[in-house]
């Protein structure tokens, strides 16, 4: 079976840094991606890691350790608009197999 | 700007009705998907399609069928809607070979009464 584990909820203060973890157990591994979804909206792509290490895109960074089957999304200088759900997803091969999604982490940013 | 468009954002249907959810993408993507999203359960794959007239079952296909007559259009069909199919339905597409970015529509909120 395929499983991705991420915390269901995280709360953080505006201006702070928050890390959302994702551990995975899948039949294969080709890359880990992150998606953001605001209430009532569509999930949108944030980042993708195929190799170990940190990828930075503005205030957001994503990390991958293939040996630990683990990754995280790091959000810096939190803003109220970052309140959303965040999903990790694994691409299990280079072919057409659908992405496997985690159940999502609800991030609440408070003043 | 790339776009996945779901024709209906909000629908209310009666138990037993046949329901069509339409999805169109303008990115010439080969692969299209239908997901269902429920609180605490994340995104669950219903059906997907690699090409025109091709379909594959996902994790929860029971009670659903799909149609892909044209590359840009992927329809989800509830043959006889039931109350446990009340949910948010998301259509998505991605390049052949997987790609790294899946594009989602805005979602269709279906209530079955």
DSSP codes, A41-73: S--EEEEEESSSEEEEETTEEEEEETTTTEEEE
Contacts of B45 in chain A (CB under 8 A): 98
Q: Which two tokens stand for residue A18?
A: 């928050």
Average pLDDT, chain B: 93
CB-based contacts of B62, cutoff 8 Å, min separation 6: none
Which of A36, A43, A91, A93 should we substitute to test contact with B (largest number of B Cβ atoms within 10 Å)?
A: A43
pLDDT score recorded for residue A92: 87
Q: Is B97 helix (H, G, I), strand (E, B) or coil?
A: coil
Is the pLDDT higher at A97 or at B16?
A: B16
Listed range (A13-17, A20-24, A100-104, B83-87) with the worst mean pLDDT:
A100-104
Say whether pLDDT at B29 is over 80: yes
How far apart CA A104 and CA A87 sit, in angstroms, is: 4
The string of pLDDT tens digits covering residues B79-99 is 999 999 999 999 999 887 656
What's phi and psi for B93, nearest 5 deg? -145, 160
First-residue to last-residue Cα distance in chain A? 40
**H helices within chain A, ranges in order?**
none
- In 3D space, the residue among A27, A25, A26, A16 whose CA is nearest the CA of residue A74 turns out to be A16
Average pLDDT, chain A: 94
Find where tokens 């909120």 sit.
Answer: B109
Largest CA distance in chain B: 40
The verdict on a CB contact (< 8 Å) between A42 and B31 is no
Minimal CA separation from B109 to chain A, in Å: 9
pLDDT score recorded for residue B101: 84
Q: How many C-beta atoms surround the C-beta of residue B38 within 10 A?
A: 12
- In 3D space, the residue among B36, B24, B41, B40 whose CA is nearest the CA of residue B78 turns out to be B36
pLDDT score recorded for residue B15: 98
Q: Which two tokens stand for residue B113?
A: 């009464």
pLDDT class of A63 with cuts at 50, 70, 90: very high
B31 and A CB contact within 8 Å:
yes
pLDDT score recorded for residue A11: 97
Number of CB pairs < 8 Å for A and B?
58
Query: Mean pLDDT over residues A74-87, rounded?
Result: 97
What's the DSSP call for residue B40?
A: T
How far apart CA B97 and CA A33 sit, in angstroms, is: 16
Say whether pLDDT at A79 is over 70: yes
Query: Mean pLDDT over residues A74-89, rounded?
Result: 97
């Amino acid at each position: 079976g395929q499983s991705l584990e991420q915390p269901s909820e995280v709360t953080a203060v505006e201006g702070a840094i928050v890390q959302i973890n994702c551990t995975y157990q899948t039949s294969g591994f080709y890359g880990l991606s992150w998606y953001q979804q605001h209430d009532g909206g569509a999930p949108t792509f944030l980042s993708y890691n195929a190799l170990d290490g940190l990828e930075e895109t503005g205030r957001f960074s994503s990390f991958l350790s293939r040996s630990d089957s683990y990754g995280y999304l790091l959000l810096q200088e939190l803003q109220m608009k970052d309140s959303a759900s965040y999903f990790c997803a694994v691409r299990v091969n280079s072919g057409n197999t659908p992405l496997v999604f985690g159940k999502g982490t609800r991030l609440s940013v408070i003043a | 700007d790339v776009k996945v468009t779901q024709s209906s954002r909000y629908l209310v249907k009666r138990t037993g009705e046949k329901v069509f959810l339409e999805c169109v993408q303008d990115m010439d993507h080969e692969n299209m998907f239908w997901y269902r999203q429920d609180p605490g359960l994340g995104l669950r794959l219903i059906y997907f399609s690699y090409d025109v007239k091709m379909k594959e079952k996902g994790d929860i296909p029971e009670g659903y069928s799909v149609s892909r007559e044209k590359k840009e259009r992927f329809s989800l069909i509830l043959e006889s809607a039931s109350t446990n199919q009340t949910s948010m339905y998301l259509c998505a597409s991605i390049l052949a070979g997987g790609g790294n970015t899946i594009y989602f529509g805005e979602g269709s909120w279906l209530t079955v009464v």
